[in-house]
Amino acid sequence: MNIIFYHPKTDSEPWIEGIRHRLPEANVRVWHRGDTAPADYALVWHPPQEMLAPRSDLKGIFVLGAGVDAILNQEHRHPGTLPAGVPLIRLEDTGMALQMQEYALASVLRYFRRLDEYQLFQQQKQWQPLPAHQHSHFTIGILGAGILGTAVAQKLIDLKFKVRSWSRSPKVLDGVESFYGDDQLDDFASGCKLLINLLPNTPQTVGILNKKLFSNLSKGSYLINLGRGMHLVDGDLLKALDDGQIAAATLDVFIEEPLQRMHPFWSHPRVSITPHIGADTLPDEAMDNIVANIQAIEAGRKPVGQVDLTRGY
């Protein structure tokens, strides 16, 4: 069994040794330009077109992250980058769900307990208690009902929040009011006090965080974007913040990363920014997932996390 690895921004050695340890029978190597030797599987992040295009004999291509939009965009720009018929497989949980839970809960509780406002008061040396938010009037909507959205919803329910979800197709989550499809998006947003975005980036979800959606939220609501920067119409958020329709926003992802130094988000008093750290790929968990999927493919079973190229996730 031959496995090739490519990641332009990480040390390859722990990955190579980790896969070899888990699959002693495998020949694992870092791919370099000009490498045309046989390969059964490819582990990649932002691979050059020449790496995968000619390899129609691959049994699987593993993307070293939960998002596959970058490699699908590459295929869109340069058709044939992905060899036809080869399964594209994304990492499912691999520790990302826990990280998303931590980030989402920290942000939700910061807004629910109004700690963001008290921080502003501290800067102004104001001693001013505020009326507490009540769970009964603090409905949280989650865009995206996949593994990450489900994990976040479960933790919020444990904390007695009212939670609803929206997805492209029907999903049923315990204790969650579920909505799906374009026809139900307005109803989903209506009355939400806080919105968490965990959608995958697809042509259908680009720009979904926009003026129309914001107008359906409760006045003075909150936004947490953990999906992709392309989901958010930046100007619509700034306008909603200025109008008071959105009280505050926490943003972890942006259309252009790093965020341009002159972008108004940097200086807006009601916008909190983090540098796309919501959930990192954890190598050990990721390698366990990849090896389990390789073993499934070798045994004739369908891998977990295979991407539907027509849907983009």
**pLDDT tens, per residue, the chain with 313 residues:** 999 999 999 999 999 999 999 999 999 999 999 999 999 999 999 999 999 999 999 999 999 987 898 899 889 888 988 999 999 999 987 889 999 999 999 999 999 999 999 999 999 999 999 999 999 999 999 999 999 999 999 999 999 999 999 999 999 999 999 999 999 999 999 999 999 999 999 999 999 999 999 999 999 999 999 999 999 999 999 999 999 999 999 999 999 999 999 999 999 999 999 999 999 989 999 999 999 999 999 999 999 999 999 888 8
Active site residue 33: no
Q: Which residues pair with 251 in a beta bridge?
A: 225, 273
Q: What pLDDT is attached to residue 89?
A: 97
Is the preceding omega at residue 131 within 30 degrees of 0, hence cis? no
Catalytic residue among 110, 228, 261, 263: 228
Token representation of residue 110: 């910061």
**What pLDDT is stored for residue 165 in this prediction?**
98
Instruction: Tell me the sheet residues that pair with 179.
Output: 166
Helix (H, G, I), strand (E, B) or coil at 291: helix
pLDDT at site 131: 97
276 is catalytic: yes
- Topology of domain 96-273 in CATH is Rossmann fold (3.40.50)
Q: Do domains 2-94+281-299 and 96-273 have the same CATH topology?
A: yes
Tokens 């077109």 appear where?
49
Read off the DSSP letter of residue 266.
T
The structural domains of the chain, with segments of one domain joined by +, span: 2-94+281-299, 96-273
Between CA 124 and CA 122 the distance in angstroms is: 5
**246-251: strand order across its sheet:** 177-180, 163-167, 140-143, 194-197, 221-225, 246-251, 271-273
List the beta bridge partners of residue 209.
Answer: 232
pLDDT at 70: 86
Instruction: Identify the bridge partners of residue 272 per DSSP, sorted by sequence position.
Output: 250
Which residues, 6 or more positions from 37, have their beta carbon under 8 angstroms from its beta carbon? 2
Taking each helix axis from N to C end, the angle separating 96-112 and 115-123, rounded to the nearest 10 degrees, works out to 60
| Nearest alpha carbon to residue 12 among 27, 31, 35 | 31
The catalytic position among 22, 46, 268, 276 is: 276
Domain 2-94+281-299 in CATH 3.40.50.40: no
